[in-house]
Structure 1
Amino acid sequence: MDHHPSLGGRIALVAGATRGAGRALAVELGRAGATVYVTGRTTRERTSEVGRDTETIEETAELVTAAGGEGIAVPTDHLDEEQVRALAERVDRERGRLDILVNDLWGGEHLLAGGSLFGRRAWETPLADGLRILELGVRSHLVTAALLLPLLIRSDAPLHVEVTDGTAAANRRYRDNLYYDLAKNAPIRIAFGLGEELADHDGTAVAVSPGWLRSEQMLAHFGVTEENWRDATAQEPHFGIAESPYYLARGVAALAADPERARRWNGRSTSSGELARVYDVRDVDGSRPDSWRYLEEVVHPGRPADPDAYR
């Protein structure tokens, strides 16, 4: 896609925009011309329980502005109802409405302990960890939706985007831990339910998923950077299918600018790979990875790594 989608004059809010997909989504909406409120818990003064202080919401807001939009950082813990109410009141006071709400809240990787919770039975999972996963991955989404949707339905074309891990089709497979499975399926059902409710307002609700995301945390896990990320395939050959956060973000920005988006997407779940095909977008390296098809056709059957055939 050679041209950028146009979102000039649109007011967006990306909840959970500190890093990863949330940061990229904020930047690409800004690149398309939107004013973007970016929220999260890690600021230049305070670090969240995730424990990374190398990315902050202030930096995300600056990247949005540098891309051509207007980035506004608002420190917010989306599990704190009063903070989210204050956020809604500020957007109402400053803009009077919201056009695009992106719910990208998560921050539970540290509870997965390097993946050790995967494969652990429900009765073997520490209950406190499991419930915290649901707080971070489900309750935060519901608090945010409940308190910001009244602003969103003032838009002439409301768009609610739930960001999760997996699509309805992909998540027919169990996600190897009960609490994680619930946390990543709930946003799909939230988008389905809100699709029914927003239809009366000419709105669209959709759940979106990246593939194997080269987030800052994932790169750090493998000890590589975005510049030399392919070196990680020596440790994990399947990592060759990985995509940058901007791949999903470009697809979502195109969806947001699509006048036919309600007909195409309302109530559905989709992936970065499907959005790339529909809107003719590519990742930062010019490729078009399809992680979920790769997972189904190569990883699950136990076939040798062949990521280049799926890029």
Structure 2
Amino acid sequence: MKPLEGKVALVTGGTRGGGRGIAVELGAAGATVYVTGRSTHGRRSEINRAETIDETAEIITAAGGKAVPVRVDHLEKEEVQALLERIRRDHGRLDVLVNDIWGGENLFEWDKPVWDHNLDNGLRMLRLAIDTHLITAHYALPLLIERPGGLLVEVTDGTRAYNETHYRLSVFYDLCKVAADRMSWAHAKDLEKYGCTALSITPGWMRSEMMLEHYNVTEATWRDAIANQPDFAISETPRFVGRAVAALAADEDKARWNGQSVSSGQIAKEYGFDDVDGSRPDCWRYLLEVREAGKPSDVTGYR
């Protein structure tokens, strides 16, 4: 089934990780997906990794979707404005906006207070995580609100409840992730009068390309990492959060989520879908009830 057939989605930061997973699942559900990022074939971003938006588009096409890769630096207002003008010309509508722009993986320093953290890197991180999202919302939301039922998703790390009580080991990283959630809450106030919905979503412990490299495993061999890090057993693929966003986008009653902070595991339980391996990990509940409770690592009942 293609519940999003005829819909148009914009996934920003879709080069890798959760952004890629979301873009692929929206395409598989029938949406035409504009996927943006700064890395293309022959031109890498400052992160200097091999993944590109062109590769994401190829995966979307292989999954039966329609993809339009567009290189955009979302700190450049003119580039974002031109992107939305193109979407308006091509389709005259925008049904789903996913703000997943990040790019700060090489900038944060764990367990360093603000006076010890590299200041330029910290401020750059804030610009990548906050300014980009606001610039994109400024140009994209006027098109989104032209039709009731539009959806804005801010992708973050950690649920609202978790982040309210847990310091994320870097003041800059902490601000970046809390800000995304707060933005979704504020946008929800503005969007509800137009019949549109905004929320924030967090994946669980995601097996992104960078995470797999960190543990020196592949998606096919990821379980080998459990020997050294037992809690990695609760991890999930980037497609899991993608299926969560696709389920939300297809829900005619999505307004019930307006302003909320949700996780991939929570949404999977609500809509009854699984990860690509047939499991249903509930990472954030596991972290609180097992890992932080000091219990032995055991994902029984959590996947």
Q: State the TM-score, normalizing by the size of structure 2.
A: 0.97
| CA shift for structure 1 position 304 | 2.4
Residues 1:301 and 2:293 are matched in the alignment: yes
Q: Does the aligned pair in 2 maintain the 1:5–1:253 contact within 8 Å?
A: no
Q: Does 1:288 align with 2:280?
A: yes
1:233 is displaced (CA, Å) by: 1.1
Deviations 1:221-257 (A, max 9, x none): 1110000001011221111111001111111111110
Q: Which residue of 2 aligns with 1:124?
A: 116
Correspondence 1:137 to 2:124: no
Cα distance between partner residues in 1 of 2:206 and 2:84: 30
Q: Write out the 4+ residue segments of structure 1 that deviate beyond 3 Å after TM superposition.
A: none
Q: Which runs of 5+ in 1 are unaligned?
A: none
Work out the CA distance in 2 between the residues paired with 1:286 and 1:81: 41
Q: Does 1:43 align with 2:40?
A: yes
**Paired amino acid for 1:255:** L
Corresponding residue number in structure 1 for 2:57: 61
Aligned amino acid, residue 60 of structure 2: V
Matches of 1:43 and 1:56, distance apart in 2: 5
Distance in 1, matches of 2:272 and 2:116, equals: 44
**Pairing partner for 1:74 from 61, 70, 76:** 70
1:5–1:254 contact (8 Å) kept in structure 2: no
C-alpha contact (below 8 Å) 2:32/2:65 kept by paired residues: yes
TM-score normalised by L of structure 1: 0.94
- Kindly indicate whether the alpha-carbon contact (under 8 Å) linking 1:241 and 1:308 is maintained by their aligned counterparts in 2: no
1:208 touches 1:271 (CA, 8 Å); kept in 2? yes
- 1:66 CA drift (Å): 2.1
Match of residue 259 from structure 1: 252
Matches within 5 A, 1:1-311: 4=1, 6-53=3-50, 55-112=51-108, 117-172=109-164, 173-263=166-256, 265-311=257-303
SS of residue matched to 2:70? strand
Cα deviation code 1:46-93 (max 9, x no counterpart)? 11111201x110111122222222100000111111111111111111
Cα RMSD, aligned residues only: 1.2
CA distance in 1, matches of 2:266, 2:121: 33
Question: Which deviates more, 22-31 or 152-161?
Answer: 152-161
Q: What secondary structure is seen at the aligned counterpart in 1 of 2:160?
A: coil
The amino acid that maps onto 1:119 is: D
1:148 shift after superposition = 1.0
**What's the % identity of the aligned pairs?**
54
**Could you tell which deviates more after superposition, 213-222 or 87-96?**
87-96
CA contact 2:149–2:252 (8 Å) conserved in 1: no
Partner SS for 2:23: helix
Distance 1:166 1:237 in 2: 20
